[in-house]
Amino acid sequence: MIDLHAHILPGIDDGAQSLEMALEMARIALAAGVRQMAATPHCNLPDSSRANYDGPELRRQLNDLRKALEQENLPLELYPGAEVFADEELPRLVRSRRLTSLNDGRYLLVEFGFEEDPDFVTFILEMLLEEGYTPLIAHPERYGFVIRNPELAYRFVSMGCCLQLNRGSLTGRFGPRPERTAWALVEHQLAACVASDCHRAEFRTPHLADAWEVLEEAYGPACPRLLLEENPRRILDSRPVTGLRPFGFRGRRGF
Ligand SMILES: [Fe+2]
């Protein structure tokens, strides 16, 4: 499997707190069947002491962790990335090229405030598309504006964006409404991929195998293969995702 959303770089956001914890997270990922992972620290997060814009320091930290994995004989391949928070500053940051896209390609993992104004979300997504990025929207099933109005997810995908669901949403970690929304996005063939959004070795871990199991149970093995292998591979390679036949929610009120 390929995990495109992981807070595994140690000591630079609310993810792994030490190198030891990062290595433990890598062991969990490998035991779950994950072989490739994008290291996606929070970037541009409000009220954070670390903005984590792209630069030599972040690249050094990624390479340090790669070396530590090699020394420990942990065959987890790491790719550059970031989870970029969308605010009014984002257009300027995009133009200054200070953001790390997934594997330095065309997909940018972008997150929004949980109660963001949908018009602002649409404005940001259009801006990113115009600048040549394909936005990969992090955990849309957790946003209040999507939960209340799932038709927005259909609109975002129709614009050319992709949706990344969290492993924990499918298993109920974030409560019943994100869980119902996540499953509806899979059912409506709107989700491009599932990732761990892992933060720790003890909770919110990179154990993606449980997402595989519940998806396989619901839809057969082709579904997790698409969402946990095929599309993540395509995203890392900057190729279009496949297998989506999105249809709208036809007036459904929300979850
Ligand atoms: Fe995250």
3-state secondary structure 181-206: HHHHHHHCCCCCEEECCECCCCCCCC
Residue 252 lies in a domain: no
Mean pLDDT, to the nearest integer, of 34-50?
A: 93
Q: Compute, in angstroms, the gap from residue 85 CA to the centroid of ligand 1.
A: 10
Residue 17 lies in a domain: yes
CATH number at residue 66: 3.20.20.140
| Tokens (6 digits) for 186 | 């899979």
User: Is the model's pLDDT at 247 over the cut of 80?
Assistant: no
Q: Compute, in angstroms, the gap from residue 76 CA to the centroid of ligand 1.
A: 19
Residue 249 lies in a domain: no
Q: Compute, in angstroms, the gap from residue 163 CA to the centroid of ligand 1.
A: 13
Q: What is the pLDDT of residues 142-167, one digit of tens each?
A: 999 999 999 999 999 999 999 999 99
Residues, beta carbon < 5 Å, ion ligand 1: 83, 197
Q: How many domains does the chain have?
A: 1
Residue 251 lies in a domain: no
Q: Compute, in angstroms, the gap from residue 251 CA to the centroid of ligand 1.
A: 30
Residue 253 lies in a domain: no
| Tokens (6 digits) for 220 | 């057969």
Q: Compute, in angstroms, the gap from residue 5 CA to the centroid of ligand 1.
A: 6
pLDDT of residue 47: 83
For β-strands 134-138 and 42-43, DSSP reports them as unpaired
Q: Compute, in angstroms, the gap from residue 57 CA to the centroid of ligand 1.
A: 20
Q: Which domain holds residue 63?
A: 2-236
pLDDT of residue 130: 98
User: Is the model's pLDDT at 245 over the cut of 90?
Assistant: no
- Neighbouring CB atoms inside 10 A of 101's CB total 22
Q: Compute, in angstroms, the gap from residue 195 CA to the centroid of ligand 1.
A: 10
Residue 185 lies in a domain: yes
- Neighbouring CB atoms inside 10 A of 115's CB total 9
User: What span, in angstroms and rounded, lies between the C-alpha atoms of 245 and 241?
Assistant: 11
Residue 209 lies in a domain: yes
User: Is the model's pLDDT at 87 over the cut of 90?
Assistant: yes
pLDDT of residue 246: 74
Is the pTM above the cut of 0.85? yes
User: What span, in angstroms and rounded, lies between the C-alpha atoms of 104 and 82?
Assistant: 10
User: Is the model's pLDDT at 48 over the cut of 90?
Assistant: no
pLDDT of residue 253: 78
Task: Say if residue 203 is exposed, middle or buried (CB neighbours under 10 Å; 0-12, 13-18, 19+).
Answer: exposed
Residue 250 lies in a domain: no
Q: Name the residue among 75, 71, 68 with its Cα closest to residue 29.
A: 75
